[in-house]
Amino acid sequence: MANVTNTPNGDLAVARYGQAGRDWIAGTRIADPMADAVVADFATLPRGAGMAMFRAAVQHGIDAVESPPESLRALFDEIDHEPDWLDHDRLDRAAGHIVRHTASYGIVLGAASLTAGAMNAAAGMPLVLTGRYTSQAAVRSIEVGAWLEEILTPGGLRRDGAGLATTLRVRMIHAFVRRHLLTDSEWDSDAWGAPIPQSYMAFTIVEFGRIALAAMHQLGVRYTRAELDDIYHFWRYVGRLNGVADELNPATEADQIRIAELYTLTAVEPANGDRDFVRALTHDYLAREIAELMPFGGSWKHRVGVNIINGMTRAFLGDDDASRLGVADTPFRYLPRVLGPAVGGVNEVLARIPGANKLRTRRALANYPRLMAEQRQRYGVHHDLVDAAPDNDGHPAAVRSA
């Protein structure tokens, strides 16, 4: 059984949530046994041989790989057997629902989702120790965007889809990072649990799901119940591909709400690294993106962008949490309250026009690659994930996948 004593508010989590609380606490001590076993086997092979097998299995199937480790075969046996509940039509609809509101989604992923994640110092510790927490906020955001571009393309999560392949690659990167932290760093398992554990992987799904959706609602994006159900179905499958076990993988909105509450309840107080990350994310990336939308030129645009994103972050997180992360208070905290009803009214009118939302979705899906290409050009980022970055020699995943 998990050590409730070592978990902040662990007794309260169990008292309030029962078995779900116990699963959450246990999940902070469990990583991804299946992917971790694959990486352990790869470590016994010549450099690069394991990832060559992995790439072949992704592209051609595990039977095309000569003498794969049993761990790799087990991983792909799971991947190749889709769960009975999976509905690919719903995945494609969900991708359209999300991409239709790309601008809002991009803002809230930074100003609400990632900042909410920064409220727990233990969850950010792997990034601190691998040196990618505060130094490359824009690059990391674009890497996330590259993954989103693949999974939000219709058909992207089918067995031969680019989104599925990229998601599995992310899972392997996490496993390489875990092995590095447990063998080559001063990782304190008693204090921090497992690196990138089940519980925090489940919360990551919630960051892209419930937390983002709640913030988008503040901005006037009001999904129907059927659309929300599609989106939660989408993220349930992404969670499964990422290695989240059924006990913690959120299937419904209620599951996601509970996970968000458990994350907050059992969080380790944010540290200076978390505050530095939020500042880098908001000032170096999100404020610059907002400035790009403003007319004319001048350095004033970035200053205004910083004030806007600080205000919106405070609106999404609330005053107490925003202050704990060092987010300045600005009059733009009221912006969602002003914009929300107006944007919501426009969206409601458009939704009532036959075919309007379908047209908006098609246009958004067509424009999304262009928007991502513009971002990559703006920041000089020409790779997709960290293992392919030109300066990745020190990254645990890069060392073993070269």
The three-state secondary structure class of 175 is helix
The pLDDT, as a whole number, for residue 5 is: 52
pLDDT in tens, the chain (402 residues): 345 557 899 999 999 999 999 999 999 999 999 999 999 999 999 999 999 999 999 999 999 999 999 999 999 999 999 999 999 999 999 999 999 999 999 999 999 999 999 999 999 988 888 776 666 788 888 999 999 999 999 999 999 999 999 999 999 999 999 999 999 888 988 888 999 999 999 999 999 999 999 999 999 999 999 999 999 999 999 999 999 999 999 999 999 999 999 999 999 999 999 999 999 999 989 998 898 888 777 778 989 999 999 999 999 999 999 999 999 999 999 999 999 999 999 999 999 999 999 999 999 999 999 989 988 998 888 888 888 877 665 677 775 444
Angle between helices 137-151 and 356-379 (to 10 degrees): 140
pLDDT digits 0-9 by tens, 45-95: 999 999 999 999 999 999 999 999 999 999 999 999 999 999 999 999 999
CA nearest to 272, candidates 318, 313, 325, 319: 325
**Helix axes 225-241 and 88-99, enclosed angle (nearest 10):** 110
pLDDT number for residue 400: 46
Q: Where do runs of H (alpha helix) occur along 380-401?
A: 396-401
> Taking CA 70 as the corner, what is the angle to CA 68 and CA 75, rounded to the nearest 5 degrees?
95
Q: Which is it for the CA torsion 375, 376, 379, 383, positive or negative? A: positive
Quick check: pTM over 0.85?
yes
Q: Which residue has the tokens 């505060």?
A: 134
- In three-state secondary structure terms, 298 is coil
Burial class (CB in 10 A: 0-12, 13-18, 19+), 172: buried
Backbone torsions φ then ψ of 308, nearest 5 degrees: -65, -50
Structure tokens at 363: 């246009």
CA distances, 124 to each of 271, 305, 378 (Å): 9, 26, 27
Number of other CB atoms surrounding residue 98 within 10 Å: 29
Contact partners, residue 399, CB within 8 Å, separation at least 6 = 176, 393
